[in-house]
A and B are shown apart, each in its own frame.
Chain A
């Protein structure tokens, strides 16, 4: 088969999927060849959609591929769902999630001590939303559960992998700047400015 033939299959798979599909899964569905250049096929499809000015494209997210509508159509698509309210994450949830994302696997006592408050109910909410998962137990008195982020976390925030998270500066680095930092509010987080 030509690449061109495969591309229709890939398109069909992504069209029918309800979550990001990994390259491995795509190869498995095609059942042909371990050497199928999925990324190349996706790029070709995206080029094609772009040329044809289609309203959607294939997004690389959570280590897989997913068809999504282009952002300029958001105002219209949104109207399809008038009345359905989206559960945006609370500040407490986002804080807790960022600690889990950067320090995983991490236990609740550690999260609590960083936030300075009890995070029990927040963690439960995050578990219910599948944004985090239990990754094991810490070998410590009480054997507290250890939490880490899920694939849904990556998908929800549009990240392809955890490497896409902006880097946190180390505390030591911050402490070293002591005295010479006029502007303490800025630059604590180095944002990876690489555009896609």
Chain B
């Protein structure tokens, strides 16, 4: 038999079973368990064919149905028709269906109240309350754009403010400063460190120049003299050094 079942409109296996029951006008207290089980399994099959992932609850219900079906097929221990004590293997399922059904209907009542109440606008209504025309399909979805926005805003608030460090490229190098020092010493035999750095605007350039100077000392390109702590540094060419800059 062909199924014209809209997918994803069921809230779960109980809802699906209630659908079969009301569609086929089945007496809920006398469920033809074999037929219902076949229809139920066919529906799960269809879901799987359509690559809809079938939730575990649906599978569990399938097992329950088959179990009940098996029990109804087994010969009853007591064949006495007068014996009312024999428990119907379906009764537990029926109870579950009825319990679910009454809350499903209570939910429908709530929905009526919801749309009823939405016609009254209180002072300072919150945006969440505003009723606009919404596609019925949308109503069934759990997540709305508003949910997303709310979540996003919450997430943003949770993100701790991270301190930022501005790192800029240093546009000078030890090599460059070495060359610079050598050039200065080209025409003179000595110079003060203070002269060397007086035109530099940035501290980092001074530091690099100092490193270049230390470097040159190590390579014995220059000789430095300082008369005391924190005094100016006098830089001299090493007499024996051959000027091999670069």
Contact = CB atoms under 8 A, between A and B. Distances in A.
Interface in B56-86: 57, 61
A18 B124 contact: yes
A86 B122 contact: no
A83 interface: yes
Contacts of B139: 88, 90
B195 interface: no
Contacts of A18: 123-124
B183 interface: no
Contacts of B119: 71, 74
Interface in B22-42: 22, 27-29
Interface residues of A, number: 65
A102 interface: yes
Interface in A63-117: 66-71, 73-74, 77-78, 81-95, 97-99, 101-102, 114-117
Given A189-B102, A189-B105, A90 B141 contact: yes
Interface stretch (B7-15, B197-205, B212-220, B236-244): B7-15
Contacts of A93: 142
Contact of A87 (B12, B110, B116, B128): B128
Given A114-B99, A129-B128, A67 B123 contact: yes
A85 B134 contact: yes
B20 interface: no
B121 A77 contact: yes
B57 A118 contact: yes
The interface centre, meaning the residue of B14, B111, B113, B122 with most chain A CB atoms within 10 A of its CB, is: B122
B113 A157 contact: yes
Interface of A: 14-15, 17-19, 59, 66-71, 73-74, 77-78, 81-95, 97-99, 101-102, 114-118, 121-122, 125, 128-129, 156-159, 165-166, 168-169, 171, 174-175, 178-179, 181, 184-185, 188-189, 191
A81 B130 contact: yes
Contacts, number: 166
Given A84-B132, A117-B55, A185-B22, A157 B101 contact: no
Interface residues of B, number: 56
A122 B142 contact: yes
A18 B124 CA distance: 6
Contacts of B11: 91-92, 95, 115, 117
Contact of A156 (B102, B117, B127, B141): B117
B120 A90 contact: no
Given A171-B98, A175-B98, A157 B107 contact: no
B35 to A, nearest CB: 17
A98 B99 CA distance: 12
